[in-house]
């Protein structure tokens, strides 16, 4: 039977609290300790992870009740029960490269929680909340949630679905710009997949750039702290990519126009953004609900912190992207026929 609204909100409250439990488990290294040590009692986990035994017990019990951890014998005394991380939960909670690794959603929610009062005030006066105010937790969560797809799918299936682009980037001496690179996982993937290319990541957030440089150690990728206007000095490029970032930009037409001008003759631009429905319908499916959820508390307030702002929000529909691309001077926008999960992949030329 369909849930009533009060039942949905009760379930949502429970889920939010459980995500905060996931945040504790990742931030304190509790999941990783269990993955490495196997079955542990509360005192053993406390000793191994360096936390207080009473907190260890409460967290383990909550995680077992939620079904995230397994307990060997619930009837045993509290400090004698042994808890373990099920093998099929390790990817979700521990392995940062696993396609199922969604634990970073917890970091993002913690970052949002810290600025909710600022969001309230922004709603009242029409201002915004700068990206930096969401803090390290949100920044790390956002970079980590995209990491599996960017490290694997970007160069494994998305770009090969555009054969001309893929072939051009495979040539020795190709030049690639990754605009809005964030934590740099996409830039790292491009440098690994196209070893003969020069790959540069650009981002306006200084802490993200510094963290990206750490992630890129051992690769040829390099990073620039700056916006898309820096491309005009560094071009021309054989491809410019904007991955899951265009909807966050206050001036998307200007960004797209700068990217177009930085392209070498015959080169194309790749834009990856959310795979939302073609038009507004209500009620929406789970993906539409998720994207609007991010929009009302992060993407729209962050975009409105810069003025003037297009104020796109997270739900960037295909028709809107085509309008932005046309305004920026592109004459062709093609959505690739490739399974990109939460995303849709476009080629602009």
Instruction: Residue 125: count other Cβ atoms within 10 Å of its Cβ.
Output: 7
Q: Is the pLDDT of residue 264 over 90?
A: yes
Sheet containing 237-243: which strands, arranged edge to edge? 222-225, 198-203, 175-179, 237-243, 263-274, 343-348, 333-335
Confidence (pTM): 0.94
Measured between its terminal Cα atoms, the distance across the chain in Å is 48
Environment class of 6 (CB within 10 Å of its CB; exposed 0-12, middle 13-18, buried 19+): exposed
Residue 7: pLDDT band (50, 70, 90) is very high
Could you give the CA distance from residue 175 to residue 199 in angstroms, rounded to a whole number?
6
Environment class of 261 (CB within 10 Å of its CB; exposed 0-12, middle 13-18, buried 19+): middle
Query: What number is the average pLDDT over the span 325-330?
Result: 98
Q: Is the pLDDT of residue 241 over 90?
A: yes
pLDDT confidence of residue 45: 98
% residues pLDDT > 90 (the chain): 97
pLDDT confidence of residue 118: 98
% residues pLDDT > 70 (the chain): 100
3-state secondary structure labels for all residues of the chain: CCCCHHHHHHHHHHHHHHHHHHHHHHHCCHHHHHHHHCCECHHHHHHHHCCCHHHHHHHHHHHHHHCCCEECCCCCCHHHCCEECCHHHHHHHCCCCCCCCCCHHHHHHHHHHCCHHHHHHHHHHCCCCCHHHHHHHHHHHHHHHHHHHHHHHHHHHHHHHCHHHHHHHCCCCCEEEEECCCCCHHHHHHHHHCCCCEEEEEECCHHHHHHHHHHCCCCCCEEEECCHHHHHHHCCEEEEEEECCHHHCCCHHHHHHHHHHHEEEEEEEEEEEECCCCCCCCCCCHHHHHHHHHHHHHHHHHHHCCCCCCCCCCCCCHHHHHHHHHHCCCCCEEECCCCCCCEEEEEEC
The overall average pLDDT reported for the chain is: 97
What token pair was written down for 95?
């392995």
Could you give the CA distance from residue 239 to residue 187 in angstroms, rounded to a whole number?
12
pLDDT confidence of residue 227: 86
* Inter-residue contact 169 to 176 (CB < 8 Å): yes
- Summarize pLDDT for 92-144 with one digit per residue, the tens: 999 999 999 999 999 999 999 999 999 999 999 999 999 999 999 999 999 99
- Summarize pLDDT for 266-313 with one digit per residue, the tens: 999 999 999 999 999 999 999 999 999 999 999 999 999 999 999 999
Find tokens 């810290």 and name the residue: 114
Could you give the CA distance from residue 138 to residue 117 in angstroms, rounded to a whole number?
16
Pairing of strands 333-335, 343-348: antiparallel
Largest Cα–Cα separation, the chain? 72
- Summarize pLDDT for 162-195 with one digit per residue, the tens: 999 999 999 999 999 999 999 999 999 999 999 9
pLDDT confidence of residue 2: 77
**β-strand partners of 192:** none
Could you give the CA distance from residue 131 to residue 10 in angstroms, rounded to a whole number?
30
- Summarize pLDDT for 139-163 with one digit per residue, the tens: 999 999 999 999 999 999 999 999 9
**β-strand partners of 224:** 202
Instruction: Residue 165: count other Cβ atoms within 10 Å of its Cβ.
Output: 22
Query: Please, what are the domains in the chain?
Result: 5-93 (1.10.10.10), 145-279+308-348 (3.40.50.150)
**CA dihedral over 292, 290, 212, 318, signed as positive or negative:** negative
């Amino acid at each position: 039977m369909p849930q009533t609204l009060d039942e949905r909100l009760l379930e949502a409250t429970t889920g939010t609290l459980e995500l905060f439990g996931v945040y504790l488990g990742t931030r304190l290294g509790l999941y990783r300790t269990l993955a490495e040590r196997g079955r542990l009692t509360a005192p053993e986990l406390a000793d191994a992870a360096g936390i207080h035994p009473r907190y260890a017990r409460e967290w383990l019990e909550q995680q077992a009740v939620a079904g995230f951890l397994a307990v060997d014998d619930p009837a045993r005394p509290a400090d004698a029960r042994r808890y373990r991380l099920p093998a099929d939960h390790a990817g979700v909670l521990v392995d940062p490269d696993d396609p199922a690794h969604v634990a970073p959603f917890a970091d993002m929610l913690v970052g949002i929680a810290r600025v909710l009062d600022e969001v309230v005030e922004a709603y009242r006066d029409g201002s915004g909340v700068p990206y930096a105010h969401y803090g390290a937790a949100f920044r790390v969560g956002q970079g980590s949630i995209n990491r599996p797809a960017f490290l694997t799918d970007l160069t494994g299936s998305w770009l090969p679905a555009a054969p001309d682009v893929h072939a051009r980037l495979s040539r020795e001496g190709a030049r690639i710009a990754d605009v809005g690179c964030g934590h740099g996982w996409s830039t790292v993937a491009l440098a690994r997949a196209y070893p003969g290319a020069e790959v540069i990541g650009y981002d306006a957030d200084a802490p993200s750039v510094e963290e990206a440089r750490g992630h890129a150690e051992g690769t040829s990728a390099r990073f620039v702290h700056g916006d898309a206007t820096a491309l005009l000095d560094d071009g021309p490029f054989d491809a410019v990519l904007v991955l899951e970032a265009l909807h966050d930009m206050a001036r998307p037409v200007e960004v797209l126009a700068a990217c177009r001008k930085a392209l070498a003759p015959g080169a194309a631009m790749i834009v990856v953004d959310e795979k939302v429905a073609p038009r507004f319908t209500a009620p929406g499916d789970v993906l539409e609900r998720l994207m609007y959820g991010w929009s009302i508390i992060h993407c729209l307030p962050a975009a409105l912190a810069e003025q003037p702002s297009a104020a796109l929000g997270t739900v960037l529909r295909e028709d809107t992207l085509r309008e932005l691309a046309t305004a920026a001077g592109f004459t062709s926008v093609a959505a690739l026929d490739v399974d990109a999960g939460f995303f849709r992949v476009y080629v602009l030329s």
